[in-house]
Structure formats: C-alpha cells, structure tokens
Amino acid sequence: MSGEGLVIEGVVTEGRRLGRKLGFPTANLSVPEGFAAEDGVYASWAETEEGMRYRAMSNLGRNPSVGETERRLETHLFGFEGSLYGQRLRVELGCRIRSERTFASLEELQAQIARDRAEILALGDAGPAGKPGPSERGETEVNASSDACAVRRR
C-alpha cells in the first residue's frame, strides 16, 4: 500500500537531532506495529495539538544511512519554528515521492532531502489524497504511484 491518506498520530519524541543539523528539523513519531504504508518519503500534512496545519514532508522508515533500525516517522513541517517535543502531532501521508535508500555520506543525504523538499513544494497546495490545502486555489488532483507523485490542475 502506498500510504496515501493514512494517518499517524502520537507524541513527538526526541531523536538524534540529525535533521536539525542538516537544516531540516523533524518531529519524530513512533510507528504503530503493522502500519500498512511502504517506507519512503511522502508529501504530507501535519496538524499540531493547537490545531495549526502545515504542509510537510515525511520519511517513513528506518534511516539506513545513519544506522537506525526502529521504524518511525520523521516529519519536517514547512514554515514551522519552535519545539514540538512532548506535544501531540497528527500526520496524514500524501503521495510517496521515493523509496527509502542508503546514502554514502551526510552531504549526499542533505542534498537529496533538499531535492525532496523542492519536489514536494512543486506539487502546489495539494494535500493528502488530493484534498486542497488551506489556500483552496483551484481543484487539484494527486495520483500516487510506487515512487512518484503526479499533479494535474484542472
């Protein structure tokens, strides 16, 4: 299953803070046992316990480039500043833009994350499952394939 439209909700836990070091701080959530989505990088939406909703990018998986083994969801909220540690966060996955893979260096990983961010932002305001985002500009449809998102504006 691609993961599109699936939701993970939980309390944000501290990680290694590697995302922050790379310029992409993330909110880390535990993944429920048996969660059906494929590992990879997703366009997503995140909602804080205060009800603020942010476009985001999420990595679902085990972070093989840095030797992690626990499956978790790491989500970078576009435009968010502050700390979410200990707060509830709800993340809805949109389309998967690529599978999880191992990188030879942190620099290579950082460059790929920057490309992922650009690709997700280029999708426009499409939210998970093709739901328009807060701007409600036009009608947007998002189609997921195993490793790519296709956006069509009508």
The 10s digit of each residue's pLDDT in 6-42 is: 899 999 998 878 778 888 999 999 999 889 889 999 9
Strand-pair partners of 25: none
Give the pLDDT confidence score for residue 149 in this predicted structure. 58
Classify 120 in phi/psi space as left (phi over 0), alpha (psi -120 to 50) or beta. alpha
Per-residue pLDDT tens for 69-105? 789 999 999 999 999 999 999 999 999 999 998 899 9
Interatomic CA distance for residues 46 and 148, integer angstroms: 20
Q: Of residues 130 and 96, which shows the higher confidence score?
A: 96
Domain 7-153 belongs to what topology? Answer: Elongation Factor Tu (Ef-tu); domain 3 (2.40.30)
Evaluate if residue 134 carries a pLDDT over 50: no
Give the pLDDT confidence score for residue 143 in this predicted structure. 37
Q: How distant is the alpha carbon of residue 135 from its chain centre?
A: 20
Helix (H, G, I), strand (E, B) or coil at 105: coil
| 146 pLDDT tier (thresholds 50, 70, 90) | very low
Q: Exposure pattern of 24-49 as b/e (b: 16+ CB <10 Å)?
A: bbbbbbebeeebebebbbbbbbbbbe
Q: Which residue has the tokens 């804080």?
A: 48
**Residue ranges of the domains in the chain?**
7-153
| 122 pLDDT tier (thresholds 50, 70, 90) | very high
Evaluate if residue 152 carries a pLDDT over 80: no
